[in-house]
Structure 1
Amino acid sequence: MERHYGMDWLRIGAFALLIFYHIGMVFVPWDFHIKTAQPMAWVEIPMLLTNPWRLTLLFVVSGYASRALLSKSAGIRGFLGNRSTRLLIPLVFGMAVVVPPQTWVQLVGQHGYGQSYLWFLSHDYFRFGKLDGIVMPTWNHLWFVAYLWVYTLVLALMMPIPAASRMQAVFDRLFGGGRAVVLPVIFLLVTQFWLFPHQDETHDLFHDGPAHLQYLPAFLFGFGLAGSRAVKDGLARWWAASAATAIGCYAVMAGLLIAYPDFSFPTHHVTIVFRLAREIDTWVAIAALIGVAERFLNSDHRWRATLAEATFPFYIIHQTVIVLVEFWVKPLGIGAAGEFAILVPATIAGCWGFYLIGREIDLLRPLIGLKARGKAVKPVLSSEWIEGVRARPDVA
């Protein structure tokens, strides 16, 4: 496959938005591991700009990246082995090392837990049970990695099916033109709005059916998109209409939250309007972003390779940095604005430090989701030896 720089930029941007979204979770009234002293309902309005589509987009771009990885792998077994190494090792490392501080902070701040972190890690975290209703050990934000590996396994199991070789042609016909915008919207309205209207995500792999019904098709769509010129062209052609629809949906949601803060909708009909706008926005925003990536962002830059490599390590560490920094600054009493002013640069610095240190240590690279460095093989005839021969005509 030819590398699509636009999808690289889209992946980088999607993870960057996710980091800022999780910073926002400190200040919004929604549940999170740690909260500012006085969460503010108005923060819900900017949060809703990405809330409907941020995770679905991550699965779409992950499916696209999986197709690129498959094209460079030695068959299905090589693809699955590569993907498992890059996902499961960081997942286990994250659950054992990265995530525990988040759980400890949550227990201390919200459940009155009185033990030190070292006591918690050695006595409570690896209980394989619950403490005050919190499951431990846990994956917290790394649920995405677990789901992505399961979807990769599903994809690998589908590939040997005889009809699988014809699925790309079916995908092209099904989603060609504007249908790549319309059909996924219909699917989301049927599944998320009509069939499962009151089902929230659990991030429990075995009890999260409606989420799988949204994220697995998104992953498979991204995989098919990577091999479809027709669908990419259609999304590029309809990006402006998709963007206008997404802006309109967001305006409806934002207007309702301004009128009824913290989702205090007065009637069921108002709730239906909000949920319809949200489900439509979920896909048309993604369609617009893919179209923009296809039309305007498919070019390289000297920072692209570094940012693309840094994305996964940033994702692994960012939430722990956010939780720990807020845990340290909250007692200072500097208010939400002061906390935000510290959280943003501190989170960015912590993510960069985690990546830059980890990438230079061979033992750490697989733990943070980076490829192990291959050993350099010295050429049999080095350039220095050849130049020496040329300078000495007496050498036969």
Structure 2
Amino acid sequence: MSAHYATPAGPMSSRHYGMDWLRIGAFALLILYHVGLVFSKWPYELKALRTFEWVAYPLLALNAWRLSLLFAISGYASAAVFARAGGTARFLRGRLARLGIPLLFGMAVIVPPQPWVWLTMAKGYDHSYLWFLAHDYFTFRNLDGIVVPSWMHLWFVVYLLAYTLVLGLLRLLPARARTWLHDTVERALEGWWLLPLGIGWIYLARRLPGGWTDNHDFVNDLHAHAAYLPMFLFGVLLRKSEGVRLAIARQWKLAAVLAVLGYLGVSAYEWSYPGDTPIPDQWQDPFRIARATQSWGAIIALFGIADRFWNREGRWRTTLAEAVFPFYIVHQSLILLIGYWLRALRPSPLVEFAALVLGTAAGSLAFYFAGRAIGPLRPLIGLKRTARRPQAPIETPPGEDAEGAPG
């Protein structure tokens, strides 16, 4: 049995197709998650005409780990890019362009429909979108509860840029200090402490004073940084560490069981304290433990599955992997605009759900293919200025053309 676990697909420092497929799958789930929010009782910028309590349960299956996984994948991708960058300064300049240009473009062009829809639906804003864009969006103020201009879902890119700078700063440490730090963390995670240490860290991040925030306010989001920055750095470590990869290969099945148990615990809390019902103080810690167990268990299980079963080429892998970042940039604005237009038609929930999913997928595809084909638009949607020449698989590290995506 140990031999079976110890022979996963291949070193993660070479081309690892499984990481590409994991990123692609995570983003597909992200679209379904955001569409699901439209039909749930949870807060979201737009609500369907009919919402349902039961939608919380499939959302809870993803909620605990989806963002942490995306940051870990982004850390892995960043380590792959760094390995080819030719130095820290060049790496940081490249990341600033590949992330910063789409961020500014997104805030100026792609994001504005989101606050307009929210203000219209939730606050009774009665001006047209063009009026909003010309007179209100670029006023740099708090407009009835929302700061404009806004990064909305592009907060992930802001945080990823910051964590990339942290990675660059770590590279400025003396070589001996970097080696000691790497070896210390690797030794801690390459054995049976992999699962308890990860669960414990996530629990402590949620235990920080003030309660869990994850409010996308970069300066005042301590809890989120305490959770997501270590995930990003874990992804960096994973690409370089054969020991951690083998530990994941040995323990992913146990991690999957723990993830399911954690999900059952979190679901029991949702059943007992649905929606915004406060959880009594004496039950807060068991809830945090269940949530941390689900989160880390799912992340380790998915990395193990990707390494064991998905590390193979596929016809559409290259295109889909490249499309992830452009899809992420545009998908949430599409969801809100399509949902806003659908309200006048009053479709059934099933038709509305299908229209949101298919419309978002089709619109994202059009955005990606148009931006890819028109050279000057490529940097705006997170692609290289010119298309790459075909390369042998092992020469191109995974994640170079996709930065991961959240919600």
Q: Which residue of structure 2 aligns with residue 185 of structure 1?
A: 199
Q: Deviations for 1:13-34, whole angstroms, at most 9, x for unmatched residues?
A: 1122111111111111122111
Give me the identity figure in percent.
47
Q: 1:156–1:266: structure 2 CA closer, same or farther, 3 Å change rule?
A: closer
Q: Which residue of structure 1 aligns with residue 288 of structure 2?
A: 275
- Give the partner amino acid of 1:29: K
Distance 1:266 1:145 in 2: 32
- Give the partner amino acid of 2:288: R
Q: 1:254–1:375: structure 2 CA closer, same or farther, 3 Å change rule?
A: closer
Shift, 1:266, TM fit = 6.9
Q: 1:63 aligns with which of 75, 78, 95?
A: 75
The two structures have a TM-score, normalised by structure 2, of 0.89
Q: After alignment, is 284-293 or 271-280 more displaced?
A: 271-280
Q: 1:208 aligns with which of 221, 228, 246?
A: 221
- Give the partner amino acid of 1:157: L
Taking only aligned residues, the RMSD between alpha carbons, in angstroms, comes to 1.6
- Give the partner amino acid of 1:132: D
Q: 1:175 aligns with which of 165, 186, 189?
A: 189
Shift, 1:199, TM fit = 2.6
Shift, 1:290, TM fit = 0.7
Q: 1:217 aligns with which of 230, 237, 252?
A: 230
Q: 1:47 aligns with which of 26, 36, 59?
A: 59
| Residue 301 of structure 2 corresponds to residue 298 of structure 1 | no
Over alpha carbons, which structure has the higher Rg?
1
- Give the partner amino acid of 1:254: S
Shift, 1:178, TM fit = 2.4
- Give the partner amino acid of 1:179: W
Q: Which residue of structure 2 aligns with residue 74 of structure 1?
A: 86
Shift, 1:326, TM fit = 0.2
Distance 2:49 2:231 in 1: 37
| Local SS of the residue matching 1:62 | helix
| Local SS of the residue matching 2:214 | coil
Q: Which residue of structure 2 aligns with residue 233 of structure 1?
A: 246
Distance 1:375 1:240 in 2: 38
Q: 1:375–1:199: structure 2 CA closer, same or farther, 3 Å change rule?
A: closer
Q: Which residue of structure 2 aligns with residue 102 of structure 1?
A: 114
Kept after mapping to 2: 8 A contact 1:22/1:319: yes
Q: Deviations for 1:131-152, whole angstroms, at most 9, x for unmatched residues?
A: 1111000000000000000100
| Residue 302 of structure 2 corresponds to residue 289 of structure 1 | yes
| Residue 292 of structure 2 corresponds to residue 308 of structure 1 | no
Q: 1:157–1:266: structure 2 CA closer, same or farther, 3 Å change rule?
A: closer
Q: Which residue of structure 2 aligns with residue 137 of structure 1?
A: 149
Q: Which residue of structure 2 aligns with residue 354 of structure 1?
A: 367
Q: Which residue of structure 1 aligns with residue 21 of structure 2?
A: 9
Q: 2:348 aligns with which of 324, 331, 335?
A: 335
Kept after mapping to 1: 8 A contact 2:42/2:275: no
Q: Which residue of structure 2 aligns with residue 382 of structure 1?
A: none
| Residue 62 of structure 2 corresponds to residue 37 of structure 1 | no
- Give the partner amino acid of 1:363: P
Q: After alignment, is 247-256 or 353-362 more displaced?
A: 247-256
Q: 2:271 aligns with which of 258, 262, 265?
A: 258
The aligned runs of 1:121-132 (5 Å cut-off) are: 121-132=133-144
Shift, 1:179, TM fit = 2.0
Q: After alignment, is 8-17 or 231-240 more displaced?
A: 8-17
Q: 1:374–1:328: structure 2 CA closer, same or farther, 3 Å change rule?
A: closer
Distance 1:199 1:266 in 2: 13
Kept after mapping to 2: 8 A contact 1:265/1:271: no
- Give the partner amino acid of 2:172: P
| Local SS of the residue matching 2:219 | coil
Q: Which residue of structure 2 aligns with residue 118 of structure 1?
A: 130
Shift, 1:267, TM fit = 4.0
Q: Which residue of structure 1 aligns with residue 260 of structure 2?
A: 247
Q: 1:239–1:375: structure 2 CA closer, same or farther, 3 Å change rule?
A: closer
| Local SS of the residue matching 1:183 | helix
Count of matched residue pairs: 375
- Give the partner amino acid of 2:214: E
Q: 1:251–1:374: structure 2 CA closer, same or farther, 3 Å change rule?
A: closer
Question: Relative contact order, CA 8 A, sep 6+: which one is greater?
Answer: 2
Q: 1:73–1:212: structure 2 CA closer, same or farther, 3 Å change rule?
A: same
Shift, 1:189, TM fit = 1.6
Shift, 1:11, TM fit = 1.2
Structure 2 residue runs of 5 or longer lacking an equivalent are: 1-12, 390-407
The aligned runs of 1:18-33 (5 Å cut-off) are: 18-33=30-45
Q: 1:266–1:371: structure 2 CA closer, same or farther, 3 Å change rule?
A: closer
Distance 1:205 1:274 in 2: 26
Q: Deviations for 1:142-171, whole angstroms, at most 9, x for unmatched residues?
A: 000000001001110110111124433223
Shift, 1:8, TM fit = 1.3
Shift, 1:259, TM fit = 4.3
Shift, 1:273, TM fit = 3.1
- Give the partner amino acid of 1:68: A
Shift, 1:85, TM fit = 0.7
Distance 1:93 1:247 in 2: 40
Q: Deviations for 1:36-80, whole angstroms, at most 9, x for unmatched residues?
A: 123212110110000000000010000000010011112111111
Q: After alignment, is 301-310 or 167-176 more displaced?
A: 167-176
Kept after mapping to 1: 8 A contact 2:46/2:336: yes
Q: Deviations for 1:327-356, whole angstroms, at most 9, x for unmatched residues?
A: 000121123222112111111101111111
Kept after mapping to 2: 8 A contact 1:245/1:284: yes
